[in-house]
């Protein structure tokens, strides 16, 4: 699911606090195109999460292995409201969106991603990947091909894995200073995208609608 980055109002950045996530464990409805990560990558992420959890205890929520993913984009956001039932809306947009995505990935081939950085935002800790611009190239093609719904959420501009959310307010600066000690070096090869229907955040309950091979 697409992450939201926004600062908490503060006149002093050194006093900026993390944002408590209100959706963890909540039932939601959304349709998201994403990619899974390999078991090897999950294990490496778990080691990073363990270090963070040891330091910040119950102030952080580490996403379970099966929830870890890279978001291509939200078709219907789990966290936004629409003027009609989300499942009904999905049935309406699916033919056009499906065709647009199939055209956008045609002949794209597998995508190599190297995750080499960890960053902290007020509402999440994420791993940043480098892919030579392949994800954004496909995203741009999709946006140009699809008849996007009103107030459609723009795709993210980065390749990332959200690894932690926050359950309590803590100093953003403290978290940033701590993660400076963490080295990230994870190589992934992406062979497909999956369109999923999310039923509980954060991807703790979902079903696969369709798989798109690259």
Domain positions in the chain are 24-213
Res 126 pLDDT > 50: yes
Give the span between the Cα atoms of 5 and 18, in whole angstroms.
Answer: 11
Per residue in 20-29, pLDDT (tens digit) is 999 999 999 9
Does a cis peptide bond (omega within 30 degrees of 0) precede residue 183? no
Per residue in 171-181, pLDDT (tens digit) is 999 999 999 99
Confidence (pTM): 0.90
- Bridge partners of residue 126, in order along the sequence: 119, 162
Mean pLDDT over 128-132 rounds to 98
Per residue in 27-77, pLDDT (tens digit) is 999 999 999 999 999 999 999 999 999 999 999 999 999 999 999 999 999
> In 3D, which of 113, 107, 116, 115 has the Cα closest to residue 138?
107
- Bridge partners of residue 24, in order along the sequence: none
Q: Which CATH number fits domain 24-213: 3.30.930.10, 3.90.1140.10, 3.40.50.2300, 3.40.50.150?
A: 3.90.1140.10
Give pLDDT, residue 12.
60
Give the span between the Cα atoms of 8 and 123, in whole angstroms.
Answer: 9
Structure tokens belonging to residue 60:
């952080």
Element holding 152 (H helix, E strand): none
> In 3D, which of 83, 80, 72, 79 has the Cα closest to residue 108?
72
């Amino acid at each position: 699911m697409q992450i939201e980055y926004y600062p908490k109002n503060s006149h002093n950045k050194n006093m900026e606090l993390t944002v408590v996530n209100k959706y963890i464990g909540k039932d939601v409805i959304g349709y998201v195109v994403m990619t899974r990560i390999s078991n090897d990558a999950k294990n490496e992420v778990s080691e990073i999460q363990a270090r963070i959890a040891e330091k910040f205890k119950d102030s952080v929520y580490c996403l379970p292995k099966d929830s870890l993913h890279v978001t291509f984009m939200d078709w219907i956001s789990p966290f936004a409201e629409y003027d009609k039932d989300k499942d009904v809306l999905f049935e309406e947009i699916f033919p056009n969106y499906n065709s647009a995505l199939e055209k956008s990935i045609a002949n794209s081939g597998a995508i190599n991603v190297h995750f080499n950085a960890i960053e902290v935002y007020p509402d999440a800790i994420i791993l940043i990947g480098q892919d030579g611009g392949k994800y954004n190239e496909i995203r741009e093609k999709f946006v140009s091909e699809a008849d996007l719904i009103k107030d459609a959420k723009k795709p993210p501009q980065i390749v990332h894995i959200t690894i932690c959310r926050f359950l309590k307010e803590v100093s953003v600066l403290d978290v940033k200073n701590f993660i400076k000690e963490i080295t990230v070096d994870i190589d992934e090869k992406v062979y497909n995208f999956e369109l999923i229907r999310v039923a509980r955040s954060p991807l703790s309950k979902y079903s696969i609608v369709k798989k798109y091979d690259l």
